[in-house]
Amino acid sequence: MKSSRLRRLVAAPYLVWIVGFTILPLITIIYYAFTERGTNSFTFKNILAIRDPIHFNALVLSLWVAFLSTLICLLLAYPLSYILSKLKNGRGRFVVFLFVLPMWMNHILRTLALQNLLSNTGVINGILEFLRLPTLNIMNTPTAIIIGMVYTYLPFMILPIYNSIAKIDDGVIDAAYDLGASGFTVFRRLILPLSLPGIISGITMVFVPSISEFVIADMLGGSKTLLIGNVIEQEFTVGSNWNLGSGLSVVLMVFIVASMVIMQRYDGDGEGAALW
Amino acid sequence: MEKDIIIDLKDISVSFDGEPVLNNINLYIRDNEFITLLGPSGCGKTTTLRIIGGFLKPDTGRVIFEGKDITDLPPNKRQLNTVFQNYALFPHLTIAENIAFGLKIKKKSKEYIKDKIKYALKLVNLEGFENRMPQSLSGGQQQRIAIARAIVNEPKVLLLDEPLGALDLKMRQSMQYELIRLKNELGITFVYITHDQEEALTMSDTIVVMNKGNIQQIGTPEDIYNEPKNAFVADFIGESNIIDGIMLEDKLVEILGAKFPCVDTGFGRNKPVDVVIRPEDVDLVEPEKGTIKGVVTSLLFKGVHYEMDVLANGYEWLVHSTDMVPVGREVGIFVDPYNIQIMHKPISEDEEASSDEE
């Protein structure tokens, strides 16, 4: 049929894109992950390299940092989104826009700015010194990494949660009050469950990229703190050991896919999936 | 004050951003009454309902419920329930959980709640729907669930905000009977909001006609239809011929240069008035036998009757009749004296707003 041929023709560029930029790289990584460096013979060595204490500690720290960053983002974003969704005349949407605005700037530039703020001779310590208050010494620590992560990924948490709360019909909330519900009951039985899809997609959108994040760790964590993303990056660049890098990437990928599967389970409507 | 008054609104005024929405509303609602607030959009009827429900606090005035002042009581502390215009069912809960919502808050026992759900679903003819989700129901079914969810709480007053507005004509008509049946079975007060005059006439014991934040008239459907108090009510309730006239003396009014005998008295002599004649009360007769002569200018078949326009003395009369008169035919217009409604002309907006029940 003519129309189906046309449809196939229109879809062709996307197919090329998916094959060229998703499927082929994935196959390449898996190939490298399961082959020996130099000899190209089959091996599990690269995968099992995760048992090396340095790699293992980096993975655990990555998961921990990603978990804390996600939790802090959620605790900051939910009350904010709730308050913003109650504002009238699109004022809430404007504030959300202000929060999202920095996302349009280069990620490295923003992290560099944060470096300037947080460093031991940086702006924040300058102000503290001027006020004769004790200075902070958080540069090159996991704390600095978490601050960087929260700063970078907060908009990804705010946007879906704000949208899900703003979507809740005022009439439904009136109806709950009408049936005798207290403010707390309205929150627990209506607003929280109805905004769950937004929470789920917010968590997914913050947790998944922050597990593999290495730029922030590089610039704010210094050489002292190694995240799994840094380890992989170094294997590919400094170490030139693509096989080991790929092996660790596959391990990381398992964690990412697992976390997404768990999240999707809680997301009854599949709304979070739509955001991805 | 009468004994059976359940809700009494006293001198209620509200304005939004300086725009007056309700001007000094005084209205009482009797126990076990089906009362309808009727008016065009923006007339203040929904605002009045929200004040009764507790979702809005009036700027001035008091809301009295069974003799107690409840003006400052929040909605979750009031013994009334609302059926919202867009149903407002909880989308994440099943039908049974929706209906049980209010009962669970009141900490009723599991058996009690189960019985109540069963009873309510039977009452609204939706037995067996317990485990369905709201989105899987049609608009009419969702509306009936919204009613079920409200009535299981045994409110003394049920507030209904244009509950049938989103339904198609057929569904709306069957729901009208359903609501009247429910009202009679439950024996509670219904406060109903609509902009549909036919709906109001069909269902209500009492109709409150509102416009621009003022009550125009309060009365039974018959009163409102047959004795509209002013041109607004006459125009809003059904179709009317509203013509400028001069009351020459008691029982004689001049319209369009002709003298029509009527039954009204007490307007004085040579007073300008509004004259309302319902289209079905205009009789088309032989040209010589009519009070004035006219020519039929249009003819439409409306099912039950024909709708005709008759041009007579410069005014297009709207006429409903079961007899067809072809376009172009010369006819006489005759109106029985008791079918002529004489009303004072409003001197100003304020006068139009005056709202005492006789």
CATH of the domain at B245: 2.40.50.140
Chain B interface disruption, residue of A178, A189, A190, A267, most B CBs within 10 A: A178
What is Dmax (Cα atoms) for chain A?
79
Give CA separation, A12 vs A4, A24, A25, A132, in Å: 12, 16, 19, 65
| B92, closest residue in chain A (CA to CA) | A194
Residue at A204: amino acid letter: T
Average the pLDDT over A35-39 and give the result. 88
Domain identity same for B25 and B121: yes
Q: Are A177 and B84 inside 8 Å of each other by CB?
A: no
| Dihedral, B214, B220, B221, B226 alpha carbons, nearest 10 | -90
| A172 and chain B in contact, CB less than 8 A | yes
Cβ <8 Å between B85 and A179: no
Nearest to A171 among B74, B88, B153 (CB): B88
pLDDT at position A276 is 38
Smallest CA–CA distance from A167 into chain B, residue = B91
Q: Domain range spanning residue B244?
A: 239-353
**Which candidate, A43, A246, A213, places its Cα nearest to that of A145?**
A213
Q: Are residues B76 and B216 in the same domain?
A: yes
In the predicted model, is pLDDT for residue A220 greater than 70? yes
Whether residue B97 is found in the same domain as residue B135? yes
For B122-137, give the secondary structure using H, E and C: HHCCCCCCCCCCHHHC
Q: How far apart are the first and last CA of chain A?
A: 33
The C-alpha of A182 sits at a distance from chain B's nearest C-alpha, in angstroms, of 7
- Note whether B249 and B178 are same-domain residues: no
Summarize pLDDT for B274-331 with one digit per residue, the tens.
Answer: 999 999 999 999 999 899 999 999 999 988 899 999 999 989 999 999 999 999 999 9
Residue A214 CA to residue B253 CA, distance in Å, equals 93
User: For B84, which of A175, A190, A193 is closest by C-beta distance?
Assistant: A175
Based on the fold, state whether residues B216 and B305 are members of the same structural domain: no
Q: Which helix (H) or strand (E) holds A253?
A: helix A242-266
Residue B198: CB atoms within 10 A of its CB come to: 13
Q: How confident is the model at residue A8 (pLDDT cuts 50, 70, 90)?
A: confident
**Residue B93 placed within a domain:** yes
Contacts of A182 (CB under 8 A, 6+ apart): B76
Same domain, B221 and B243: no
Are residues B263 and B322 part of one domain? yes
Task: Read off the tokens for B156.
Answer: 């003394």
Q: State how many domains chain B has.
A: 2
Tokens, residue B124: 């609204």
The Cα A256–Cα A263 span in angstroms is 11
Q: Which of B226, B248, B269 is the last residue of a domain?
A: B226
H/E element, B343:
strand B341-344
DSSP letter for A190, please: I
Q: Are B323 and B305 in contact (CB under 8 A)?
A: no
CA A74 to chain B, closest CA, distance in angstroms equals 22
Residues B189, B96: one domain?
A: yes
Residue type, B214: N
pLDDT at res. B358:
33
Write the pLDDT tens digit of every residue in A169-192: 989 999 999 999 999 999 999 999
Question: Which residue of B50, B73, B76 to mutate against A (max A Cβ within 10 Å)?
Answer: B76
Shared domain check, B248 and B173: no
The verdict on residue B278 lying in a domain is yes
Same domain, B178 and B271: no
Kindly list the structural domains of chain A, giving each domain's residue range(s) and its CATH number in brackets, ordered by start. 52-275 (1.10.3720.10)
Kindly give the interhelix angle for B139-151 and A170-178, rounded to the nearest 10 degrees: 30
The span from the first CA to the last CA of chain B, in angstroms, equals 16
What single-letter DSSP state applies at residue B348? Answer: S
More confident residue, B37 or A134: B37
A194–B149: do the CB atoms touch at under 8 Å?
Answer: no
A167 interfaces chain B, CB cutoff of 8 Å: no
